[in-house]
Chains A and B, each alone.
Chain A
Amino acid sequence: MSSTMDSAADKRDQIQSRVASSLRRRHAKERRFRMFGLAAVMIGLAFVAVLFVSIFSRGLPAFWQSSMTLDVYFNPEILDVGPAPVRQQDESPRDFEQRQQSWRTRLTMANWNKVMQDALIAAKPELEEHRRSLRKLFTNGEKYRLRDMVAEDPSLIGQTHSVKLLADAEVDVWVRGNIDRSLPDSRLQLSPEVRRIADQLHDEGILKVAFSTVLFTNPDSRSSPASAGLAGAFMGSLFMMMVVICLAVPVGVASAIYLEEFAPQNKFVDLIEVNINNLAAVPSIVFGLLGASIFINYLRLPLSAPLVGGLVLSLMTLPTVIITTRSALKAVPPSIRQAALALGASRVQTVFQQVLPLAVPGILTGSIIGIAQALGETAPLLLIGMNAFVANIPATPFEQSTALPVQIYLWQGNEMRNFFEARTSAAIIVLVLLMITLNALAIWLRKKFETRW
């Protein structure tokens, strides 16, 4: 009897210890699984952190640039171009423009380098003997900036003005130590003399690294990297966003209203719905091909124009706008519609006077998300020629232009690596901040007007 009891107890102990050990194993497994999950989340967060830290740490310095604030004397002997032409009465506009152009050409041909060299020597007379090297200190674009100042106000000739002149990109790279200073002379762009003068000026505080708005005010520039800015690309993007707002948003909202509120159940409407779902998943570059083939090749619209870019981006964002608007309309409870219909309103009245006002926050959120998506898109724009180099700020949507993401693409490929790497990251910062602003606006709108039914 006792032996059977013993063996039963043994068995129980055995089972218990087996269960206990298996439980331990299973709990350990549970903990491991949980850790994997947590690790995955942490890795995701770490990616976000690395992305932002690396971009900001690389890009922020580009907002500061080496420059010299000098008293520039607009020497009438050097700038001997005569008075600015005035339109005569019997002159055709073309002749006048030609005279004006030739005056501007003479102004451009004037020895601006000497003007700048004189200004620097006036600040530091012992540089006279190195006059030839001084030219390398200034970026090329400053000549044209001084010229434009005079062209705008010819009375400047003969006067002295304090002007902040940007240093050359190579000088900027050298002074700020963005290049290995121990490289042999043959691998450095600047001559030893220029490097010595730059260091000297930097030590004396004439050449300063100061916050610069060039990035925001100038268009892209090839001959003068230090004065390359984002203004042209920004205007291009702005025009494209305007086209998207004027086309994709109204058309998208209208078709969403039709599909959600009015469409009968038939084959045609099914076709539209399938279409929209598929369009939402079509790779963006396919829209670029569409634009290249139809807008550029067939309709002969201008290459590189923000209008065409905006059209392509509108087609691309249309499905996003439609889908988000539809879900905003779906979220309005049917009781509202039923109440309006029961009071004798027609369906159009119900939709436009009751449903739509309630869905506006959701529609706005969706539209903003669509616009943000369009703002960040690059690939289709490359196919319709928006990657052309454009040195002007476009004034209308029909002029050649680039866009912010395309400008990033162009700058990352620039061969002046150690200068443009920071510029590229700075452009990314501007783009990402714009996107964050748009998304924050969307979130704020959703939070502010969110209605729970």
Chain B
Amino acid sequence: MDNMTLIVLLLILMGVAYQLGLTRSRAIARNTTGRMNSRPGYYGWLVALWCGLPALLVFILWTLLEPSVIRSVVLNQLPPEMADLTAQQADSLMRRLNDIASGYGVAGDPAAYEVAAAETLSRLRSIGELAKIAVMASLALAGLFLARGRIHADMRARNHVEKVINVGLLLCSGVAILTTVGIVFSMFGEAMRFFSFVPPTDFFFGTNWNPRFSSTGGNAYGDFGLLPLLWGTLMVSIIALLVAVPLGLMTAIFMAEYAPGWLRSFAKPVIEVLAGIPTIVYGVFALMVVGPFFSDLGALVGIQVRSTSALTAGFVMGVMIIPFVSSLSDDIITQVPQSLRDGSLGLGATKSETIRQVVLPAALPGIVGAFLLAASRAIGETMIVVLAAGNSPILHANPFEAVSTVTVTIVNQLTGDTDFASPQSLVAFALGLTLFVITLGLNVVALYIVRKYREQYD
């Protein structure tokens, strides 16, 4: 019987339990003079939960633990000369035993100890399976009859059921916390391991990025200086903001203050399409269209522009965050109270004067918050820079040249190679931690500014 059937059977049993609880509570309701504490459905649910939950818990634990228990028992009963197997040898032996035990057969004749071990394996498996079914069934039935037996008029079935629901919901919202804890711990742990190879000062203040391949061996690890990457990130983000902020802000102002209804209802969703397009698409667009275009443009005016450069990546990233800036600013501009505008217009100011001298200053904190959020977006963006920034981790200030960023380097250091022991791949976690801290800081500041601003007009 495989796990799927087992679960389905358990669900069916829970359905039966629900029915039993329901009929039982109805029967009690007919025979008592007072009224029942809860509606009959709740008694049904309670019985079903008592029937299903303990068995399910056992099922999960059993399924998680069984393979390792069986494995250790089987490996322990091997003849003593096989005692010191490495983990890999043990893995391949277990695979062989599996093939023998399932009757599939192996290449060549199995050794006597292998046959014996395979027999133990299949015996343990069948015992384990039977035991699992027996334990689950007895738990489910015990829960069922216990709960059913305890049904009486004063039983607060609804409160019990609601308690379970509440706990379930609470556990679900704990997942968010677990995720953050997971991020922080995994990054910290791996970053600490990296810092045991490379001192933090070399990492944070180094101006050279040249991690040699782990295969070149020896203790020479190369240089892990963060600054060229950070500078590249900064350059690309600044270019992106130079594109996105004026365009996004002007778009927001025009949409909020000037645009006639038809234009607004058409242009706003179309521009927001830009926000929904996957970043890999922007990356390919930058690589195939924008890069060659800039390169040709540069050739026309006599500047050498590489087709994969900080400019290309930054420009396309700017296009990507236009809708982000414009919709956030739009929200903030429309939140400025009408009375401020009316006061300014009443004093004879033109619309643009009102916007520039009254609305924008009033909305400024919110808009600054929006810019910071956009900046944190740009810093964390990966695929556009992977494809279009050219990946050359060298400190220079020429936006027409290739750069490399923190995100690109994380991808480069961790793809293809899953060896988590070398500083070459562990550095990805130190970089990730840096990225995490920077974006977190920007977001906290941005949210603080936005929230503070909101309080003024509420």
* Contact residues of A between 10 and 66, Cβ < 8 Å to B: 26-27, 29-30, 33-34, 36-41, 43-45, 47-48, 50-51, 54-55, 58
Q: List 12 A-B contacts (CB under 8 A).
A: A37-B257, A40-B249, A50-B289, A252-B172, A275-B180, A276-B176, A278-B440, A285-B410, A288-B414, A293-B189, A383-B428, A405-B280
Chain B 375-415 interface mask (CB, 8 Å, partner A; 1/0) = 01001111100110000000000000000000100110011
Contact between A382 and B411 (Cβ–Cβ < 8 Å)? yes
Q: Which residues of A contact B165 (CB under 8 A)?
A: 348
Which B residue's beta carbon lies closest to that of A285?
B382
5 closest residue pairs by CB, A with B: A283-B380, A376-B278, A37-B254, A255-B173, A92-B105
Q: Given A55-B281, A94-B106, A346-B162, are A254 and B251 neighbors across the interface (CB < 8 Å)?
A: no
- Is residue B65 within 8 Å, beta carbon to beta carbon, of the partner chain? no
Contact between B258 and A37 (Cβ–Cβ < 8 Å)? yes
- Is residue B56 within 8 Å, beta carbon to beta carbon, of the partner chain? no
- How far apart are A209's CB and chain B's nearest CB, in angstroms? 22
Contact between B350 and A27 (Cβ–Cβ < 8 Å)? yes
Q: Given A283-B379, A383-B410, are A322 and B351 neighbors across the interface (CB < 8 Å)?
A: no
Question: 17 other contacts beyond A27-B350, A435-B278, with CB at 8 A cut-off?
Answer: A26-B353, A40-B249, A44-B270, A44-B322, A54-B285, A252-B172, A258-B166, A272-B174, A290-B182, A293-B186, A303-B418, A346-B158, A379-B382, A379-B386, A408-B281, A409-B280, A412-B288
- Is residue A279 within 8 Å, beta carbon to beta carbon, of the partner chain? yes
- Is residue A206 within 8 Å, beta carbon to beta carbon, of the partner chain? no
Which B residue's beta carbon lies closest to that of A38?
B254
Pick the contact of A383: B173, B322, B411 (CB < 8 A).
B411
* Contact residues of A between 189 and 242, Cβ < 8 Å to B: none
Q: Which residue among A43, A95, A286, A318 has the maximum number of chain B CB atoms within 10 Å of its CB?
A: A286
- Is residue B133 within 8 Å, beta carbon to beta carbon, of the partner chain? no
Q: DSSP majority for the B interface?
A: helix
- Is residue B271 within 8 Å, beta carbon to beta carbon, of the partner chain? yes
- Is residue B83 within 8 Å, beta carbon to beta carbon, of the partner chain? no
Q: Which residues of A contact B103 (CB under 8 A)?
A: 92-93
Contact between A372 and B276 (Cβ–Cβ < 8 Å)? yes
- Is residue B104 within 8 Å, beta carbon to beta carbon, of the partner chain? yes
- Is residue B183 within 8 Å, beta carbon to beta carbon, of the partner chain? yes
Residues in chain B within 8 A of chain A (CB atoms): 99, 103-107, 158, 161-162, 165-166, 168-170, 172-177, 179-180, 182-183, 186-187, 189-190, 246-251, 253-255, 257-259, 263, 267, 270-271, 273-274, 276-281, 283-285, 287-289, 319, 322-323, 326, 350-353, 355-356, 373, 376, 379-383, 386-387, 407, 410-411, 414-416, 418, 420, 428-429, 432, 435-436, 439-440, 443-444, 447
Contact between A29 and B186 (Cβ–Cβ < 8 Å)? no
Pick the contact of A285: B319, B351, B435 (CB < 8 A).
B435
Contact between B411 and A40 (Cβ–Cβ < 8 Å)? no
- How far apart are A31's CB and chain B's nearest CB, in angstroms? 9
- How far apart are B326's CB and chain A's nearest CB, in angstroms? 8
Contact between A29 and B418 (Cβ–Cβ < 8 Å)? no
Residues in chain A within 8 A of chain B (CB atoms): 26-27, 29-30, 33-34, 36-41, 43-45, 47-48, 50-51, 54-55, 58, 92-95, 98, 250-252, 254-255, 257-259, 262-263, 271-272, 275-279, 281-290, 292-294, 296-298, 303, 315, 318-319, 322, 346-348, 372, 375-379, 382-383, 385, 387, 405, 408-409, 412, 421, 424-425, 428, 431-432, 435, 439
Q: Which residues of A contact B415 (CB under 8 A)?
A: 382-383, 385, 387
Q: Which residues of B contact A286 (CB under 8 A)?
A: 183, 187, 380, 432, 435-436
Q: Which residues of B contact A47 (CB under 8 A)?
A: 274, 319, 322
CA–CA, A281 and B369, complex, Å: 13
Contact between A283 and B382 (Cβ–Cβ < 8 Å)? yes
Contact between A48 and B270 (Cβ–Cβ < 8 Å)? yes
CA–CA, A280 and B255, complex, Å: 27
Pick the contact of A378: B246, B279, B435 (CB < 8 A).
B279
Q: Which residue among B175, B248, B381 has the maximum number of chain A CB atoms within 10 Å of its CB?
A: B175
Contact between B289 and A322 (Cβ–Cβ < 8 Å)? no
CA–CA, A431 and B285, complex, Å: 14
Q: Which residues of A contact B263 (CB under 8 A)?
A: 41
Q: DSSP majority for the A interface?
A: helix
Q: Which residues of B contact A39 (CB under 8 A)?
A: 250
CA–CA, A38 and B253, complex, Å: 10
Contact between A378 and B278 (Cβ–Cβ < 8 Å)? yes
Q: Which residues of A contact B190 (CB under 8 A)?
A: 293
Contact between A281 and B173 (Cβ–Cβ < 8 Å)? no
Pick the contact of A290: B186, B323, B376, B386 (CB < 8 A).
B186
CA–CA, A48 and B259, complex, Å: 19
Contact between B106 and A432 (Cβ–Cβ < 8 Å)? no
- How far apart are A160's CB and chain B's nearest CB, in angstroms? 39
CA–CA, A276 and B177, complex, Å: 8
CA–CA, A216 and B407, complex, Å: 32
Which B residue's beta carbon lies closest to that of A408?
B280
Pick the contact of A29: B175, B350, B414 (CB < 8 A).
B350
- How far apart are A359's CB and chain B's nearest CB, in angstroms? 15
Q: Given A30-B352, A254-B169, A272-B173, are A421 and B107 neighbors across the interface (CB < 8 Å)?
A: no
Contact between A30 and B176 (Cβ–Cβ < 8 Å)? no
Contact between B380 and A285 (Cβ–Cβ < 8 Å)? yes
Which B residue's beta carbon lies closest to that of A289?
B432
Contact between A40 and B247 (Cβ–Cβ < 8 Å)? yes
Q: Given A290-B186, A346-B162, A376-B277, are A58 and B105 neighbors across the interface (CB < 8 Å)?
A: no
Q: Given A48-B270, A376-B279, A409-B383, are A289 and B429 neighbors across the interface (CB < 8 Å)?
A: yes
Pick the contact of A272: B177, B289, B381 (CB < 8 A).
B177
Contact between B277 and A289 (Cβ–Cβ < 8 Å)? no
Which A residue's beta carbon lies closest to that of B407?
A285
Q: Which residues of B contact A250 (CB under 8 A)?
A: 172
Q: Which residues of A contact B246 (CB under 8 A)?
A: 40
CA–CA, A425 and B326, complex, Å: 28
Q: Given A36-B250, A44-B267, are A379 and B285 neighbors across the interface (CB < 8 Å)?
A: no
